[in-house]
Structure formats: C-alpha cells, structure tokens
Structure 1
Amino acid sequence: MYASRNPSNKLYTNIDDVLARFPQSAREGMTDGALHLRFDGREPCQILVQRGIARVVLGGEGSARATVNCSSDAFLELVSDRVEFRTLIQSGKLAIEGDLLFAYGIYSLLLKSNEEAAEQFRAVDTMARGAPLQEVPRVQRPTREQILDTLARNTPLIATGMMRDWRALAWTPERIADEYGDTSVVVEQQVTIPMREFIARMNETPSGGEKPAYVNGCPLPESMYPDVQPPPWFPHHEIRPPQLWMGAPAGDRPSTYLHRDGAPVFLGQVYGRKRVVLFCPDQTPYMYSAAIVRNSELIDPDHFDRDRYPLLARAFRTECIIEPGDILVLPVGWYHCVWALTPNISIAHAYGEDSAWSRS
C-alpha cells in the first residue's frame, strides 16, 4: 500500500553514506546473489548476498541477479525515502533488469529511516490499548465522526455501503481490457505495458515458479479516475492520488508482503476477494522491523523460518476477508499482509494533506 513519503526527509549526502550501511543481515527469503549498481559518472559497484549477509563489493563484474541503472541524484532520493521505484521508472530516471524481488529486497536494506514516520510509529507502538482485536468490525455506512474515532483509537474497520456510486464496481478484468486496453500500467516487474496485455497475463498459468501477474500498487491511470471516488469522509485535497492493485490469485503466497504504512489507508475492494492478516502496532517487539521501521524482515507470516524468527510465533494476529464494496480502513502502523483469493481489483487511497488529486 502507501508508504509514508516525506519530502522534507533529510537526504543521504552521497552514495558512500548509503553503502556504509553494509555489511548487514539480508531479509528473510533472500537467496545468494549480486545486485549491480550502475551510476552516471561513478565506478559501478555491487551488493553481494552470501549466506544471509549483504556486503558491498567494488566493481560491477560477474553475474548479477539484478542490475539497477540510474543517476546518482535519483538513487539518493530513492534510498532517502523521498520517492519510490515506480515514480522513477515512469519518469525514465531508473531502470531495473533481472530479478525485481531481489532488487527490492536490497532496496529495503538501503533505505534511510524517515524520521517523521518513525515518530508516528513510536506513538502508535506504545499507545494504551484494551484487549487485542479479535475481529475487524464491519460498519454499514460509517459517519465521518466514526472514522475519525477509528483513526484516533488506531483500530481497523471495514466500511460497507460506501462504494455504491463507484462505476468501478462494474469492472471485471475483461471489461477493463475492453474499455481501457490501451492504457499503460506498471506491473510488478516494473515495466510499463498496455492494460490489455496485462489482463491476458492474468489468465496465463505462471511457469518456473514465477509469481502470478500482479499490479502492485501502481498509480491508477487518470483515464480511470471517473470510475472511482476518494474516501467520502475527507476533503479531496487531503487524499493522495489512487493506487491500483490488480492481479491473479497467488495460492498460498502473499500478493503483498508484510509491511506497514506511515499514513492511514483506505483499501476499496472492487472485484474479487482478498484475505488480509493484520498485526497491531503493539506487536512490534515480535515483528523484526527493519531500520526503516515500516518494513519487516519477514515476508510471509504464514510461512517463515521459525528458528531464525521465533518471536513471530508469539505475535497476536487478526484476519479479515474483504469483498466487493468493502473499504478496509487501516490506521497508521498496522502490519499487514494480503493474499488474492480470486482474480481481483482493489483501489487504495491514503490520507495526506500535502497531496491532492484531481478527477477528470
């Protein structure tokens, strides 16, 4: 979903500051391999993962699991948590070749902590709470006051009956292919393809252990804006532009890995069903949070190395299923992992006073 992006977050001053973070432990599930980093006007280098440890090696020779090409300035903005992969790729300032998931794992090790988000997380991690949430409440057409109370208490909620005016509720993959087939979309491999081609991939059976086709939170194409609505409880100028999450079911594999967001998120389910596993922020001592604080070293809370991560077994989890017409209201700091149970389409909005969106 949305990660907190703070434009005032202090930048790394140079690439050497970034590389000084190594050596360090790799994320769970990262196999051995090398990521080549190629910058303009600077000697290339690589980040090498061997037996769970990531370290820097100068030079860019030898085989690589993935290669990243970008300018030094773009790279520093990326790892300072001021911009994300998709934005740089769409602008042509960054290109990734090879294993995207391996590259993203290295990216999570490079990220500089966002001080504003870290402060938000500290507040919700330590706030007083009652009994653990056994079930996410479902509320028919909640009022603004109810949503504000939900966010103030930092407790999730499923809002029903709020998407009646969404033309998007009539979407199916086939209808999107017909109406928006020529629209470009950024897929999980961080390449831009026509929507029609992506829909065709959704119907294909992955080979060689590949992850099923998935659009992992790319900006919703503006031509599709008229079919959706921002969350009705806030002025439009307080809501960030919508994101599209769409793809094939992934079996027992998560469609979106375990993480948490630095802004309230409103996930509207348009088509199909999703399972969401949630961990309250007070479970942070068991979650193996990375230095960036919004990511966990873990990927899948259903399947993990119990010898390496024994504390996760002690964490209290809450689960829910969201269906068409549901809006999952997810406050700041709740860890979540999402599984697509069927072919599905979701639209996510995040609260953010600095980011308006216009509807055409």
Structure 2
Amino acid sequence: MSGPNTDYDPVEVTPLQAEEVAAARDAALSAIAGAPDLAALKEVRIAHAGDRSPLALANREIGALPPQARKEAGQRVGQARGAVNQALAERQVVLEAEREERMLVEETVDVTLPTDRVPAGSRHPVTTGSELIADIFVAMGWEVAEGPVLEAEWLNFDALNLGPDHPARTMQDTFWTEPADHGLVLRTHTSPVQARTMLTRTPPIYVVCPGRVFRTDEYDATHSPVFHQVEGLVVDEGITMAHLKGTLDHFATAMFGEGITTRFRPSYFPFTEPSAEVDLVCFVCRGVDSEACRTCRGEGWIEWGGCGIVNPRVLVACGVYTERFTGFAFGMGIDRTLMFRHGVEDLRALFEGDVRFSSAFGTEL
C-alpha cells in the first residue's frame, strides 16, 4: 500500500490558486454592488454564492489536497466566501430599504381626496323578477294588486273555502299573531289579495298579485319560512280552462323562452274546482332525450305551480254573481321560478344577503 502523496503541490490545482480565488471574490463583490434590485441580487447570489459558483467549486477541491496543504487553502477560500456572503447581506438590507422607500412614494394614497370608485349596485333578483312578471301581465292588459302581509283569518282561509278544520289553519303551517282571538295571521299565500280584489271591484277582473308569504317550513336548500308567490285572477263572463291554459303558456314562454309550454295534471285545491297542477316542459332538454336530463330527471316536465277554475263558493263569499261570471286563478313561487330561470341550486342564496350573489343580476333581469 502506498503512503500519502507528500510531494503534492496545491498550486497546481488552479481553482485554489490565490489569484483565482481573489478574482472570483472580486467578481462576486462587483456583481453584488451592481445589483439594481432584489431580483437581480437573487441572480447574483445564485451565480456567485450558489452550489455551482466558482468559490463553491474551489471549496470542493480542498478535500483532494494533502493534510498539510488544506489549512492554507481552506482559509483562503473561506475568507473569500465569507466576504461574498457579508456583501450579499449588506446589499440585501440596502435594496430592501430602497424598495420600502419606493413603495411609500409610488403607492401613497391621499385618503382625503374624493373618490369615484363607487362599486356598481344591483337590485335583488326577487325584486326584479317580481317586476318582470308584473310587466308581462300588464302588457296583456292586467292590473297589479297588492295586500297586507298581516292578514285577517277570514280572508286568508274562510273566504277561500278553507274551513275551520282544514289542516293549513293549524300552527304547523301558519304563523298566528298574539293574542290568538284577534284572528290575524301572516298570510300563507297571496290568495287573500284575490279575495280583497273581488270584494272591492266589480267584474271583469284581471289582476296579478306578487308578494311575500309565510309558512312554518324548515329553512333548507328548497324551503324557507319566508318566500314569494305570484297569483293571477280572472273573473269575467264565459271564462274557461282554455283561457287559463293559453294564459299560462304565454307566461311560460315569456319567462323561459320560445317553445316552452305547460300541461295540466288533475289535483285538488279548496279554492278552485276543477283544479290542476301546472308542469313546464323542461327548459333544458325541451322534452327531447329527457332520460339524460338532470334538470327534469327524465320526466321531460317540471312542476311549476297550481291553478284551476275559481270555486263558486269563493265567488259567492266575495260577492260575485256566479250565474253570470266565472273565473280562473293560478299561483306559482317567484323564488322557484327564478331558480329555474337562472339555474340557482340553493334557495337560501336568495335570502342570505350576499352582495356577490345579487351583483351577478345587475340592475335588471
């Protein structure tokens, strides 16, 4: 086995020569001093203090030297690297201070100046949706009727053929006010407006009644204790289900586009006879290839509301001469209609007051 090479001359290792180390150090110091900003200084740090920099490569050569030569070479390279690192730190402090000063000058805001950066406002979609629906019927020659949200029990129930034993009158569906013997409720539908209209006007009557209603429902993605309905009422001579069907087809087309029609399914409501559930042809698949449609779940139709010929008992209770006049009525949820129209998946988005939701609708629909 051979012994250590005591005759090895470290000068022959070029990166470790004093001139080479000094040149690498001076080049690094010059580049550091000339770095104009922190981004440039980062590039300099990589080039002159990184793992592939000249001084780092020279430091790797020290291990190849014999023991008696390592100390001097290590001191020479270590001092050079120390000078470079110190210069980097000092330049970093200077450039960061310059950046802060520049930011204070360039990004200064005079908070006393008047501002014109007023965010664009928006109207609530329920408000604009209600107005759109009203405009559709006003264009047909109808009128808009309104009534109070705190309603008399007789108008909310009795006048509409909802007898004393009807389940809707219980605390499970209705918000009653105290004291109970005053007979006042938060209206459960907008139908009391129809009763008020028939009591105060003489036929012919063509009114649409949008408004807020209240029921003791759970608050979730599809239900709310406070929601909005629109109801229509026509009382005139010779009114039939055909008039009702044509009206709802026109309403559906105006809300959801051409080609959207309705269908009736037999149902029961105390205030209409005969009564029907109203379905819309699916506005996504249009009833074609409905099996793949997620909106109507393969039915081709979507439930929209209820309708029917006004029950003669309701007409009599409101003072309308039933031998001469007949009428029809219908009711839909405004919130549900807007969810269909705009693809809103959660009913709560309409009521939680998030301006990010409302701003998407702008000022008009």
TM tier relative to shorter chain? under 0.3
Specify the structure having the higher radius of gyration (Cα). Answer: 2
Greater RCO, 1 or 2 (C-alpha within 8 Å, sep 6+): 1
Structure that is richer in helix per residue = 2
Q: TM-score normalized by structure 2?
A: 0.25
